[in-house]
Amino acid sequence: MKLFAIFGKPVAHSRSPLMHNYVFKKLDLDACYTRVALEDGSLLREKFFSLKLSGANITVPYKEDAFRACDEVVGFAKEIGVVNTIINQNGRLIGYNTDADGFVDAISEFKDVKNILLLGAGGTTKALALKLKLEGFDVEVLNRSASKLEYFTNLHINSYDYTSFKIKRYDLIVNTTSAGLSDESLPAPKEILETILKKSNYVCDVIYGHLTPFLKLANSYNIPYKDGSHMLLAQGVLASELFTNREFSKSIIHTIMSKSFEF
Ligand code: NDP
């Protein structure tokens, strides 16, 4: 039996085991997907091999550790230094990023979006910022800590902390922080959020499974919003394609995996 896992801290909330195990079951594959709560990201590679994994997903806060754990990183993940999917290819760990494509798919239903503000500056923000820039969007970044902004400045992406930020209008505002994941915090000071939300057309959160304080605030201003479920499904389909060695088409996996969201 092939074993797969998701690494993270926290990881108990993750729907990935449900999604991937459902696909394995429906495709009659001898494989199983579990959760691993990891305390130290530098131990990822060692843990991967000690569990004899065939592949893994990596969630908050270890996606940059995952990049470092790989022997080879492929495609877009190499440009951003952020890996969320690892495949064991004959003892070599090959890294990919499926989050960014998943997010672009998720926002495709929002019309006339050009200017996007990403709240956060972690692994997910890096992936989405570069992908959105490559897709032709005007992206800016607002983060709690100024120390994480250099990456974006180097990419010529305007980035701010709370003191340097100047209020302006955005078509779409996205929470890519972990604020609201397992606490009740907002991803930026309330005064800033209230002012920019009133001017925006759409709001998105990458967190899924519950209405975050950020989405509740957007809802109180009647702004159309979506949580991270669509992104989760889209990135999961791409990861599953890699886990099953591209034996099944994306559309078959998508049809099956989307049913796991009904439970
Ligand atoms: P990282 O740990 O790499 O980055 C976290 C970011 O959140 C940092 O910029 C940090 O700011 C900021 N942050 C954390 N807490 C707060 C707070 N209370 N107020 C303001 N900012 C805060 O995490 P990831 O990028 O890996 O993940 C971010 C989120 O994205 C997670 O909630 C994860 O579950 C979600 N996610 C969802 C996916 C989906 O498919 N739906 C896919 C990928 C991720 P600072 O720099 O100041 O520390």
Tell me the pLDDT tens digit for each residue of 221-257. 999 999 999 999 999 999 999 999 999 999 999 999 9
The answer to whether the CB of 116 falls within 8 A of the CB of 132 is yes
Residues taking part in catalysis = 63
Whether residue 38 is predicted with pLDDT greater than 90 in this model: the reply is yes
Element (H, E) at 175: strand 172-175
Is-above-0.85 flag for pTM? Answer: yes
Kind of pairing, strands 85-89 and 225-226?
Answer: unpaired
Query: Which tens digits make up the pLDDT trace of 182-226?
Result: 999 999 999 999 999 999 999 999 999 999 999 999 999 999 999
Q: How many Cβ atoms are within 10 Å of 71's Cβ, its own excluded?
A: 12
Q: Is the CB of 65 under 6 A from ligand 1?
A: no
Helix segments in 72-212, DSSP class H: 76-80, 99-106, 123-134, 150-154, 190-199
**Atom of ligand 1 at shortest range from CA of 63:** 26
Q: Is the CB of 177 under 6 A from ligand 1?
A: yes
Residue 263's pLDDT is 84
What phi, psi does 30 have (nearest 5°)? -85, 80
Mean pLDDT over residues 8-21, rounded?
A: 96
Kind of pairing, strands 202-205 and 172-175?
Answer: parallel
**Atom of ligand 1 at shortest range from CA of 229:** 41
Q: Is the CB of 94 under 6 A from ligand 1?
A: no
Q: What is the Cα–Cα distance from 212 to 66, expressed in whole angstroms?
A: 27
How many angstroms is it from 252 CA to the middle of ligand 1?
Answer: 31
Kind of pairing, strands 85-89 and 138-142?
Answer: unpaired
Give the 3-state secondary structure of residue 260: helix
- Contacts for 52 with CB less than 8 Å, ≥ 6 apart: 3
Ligand 1, pocket-test mutation among 6, 13, 62, 177, most atoms within 8 A of CB: 177
**Nearest C-alpha to atom 37 of ligand 1 is from which residue?**
206
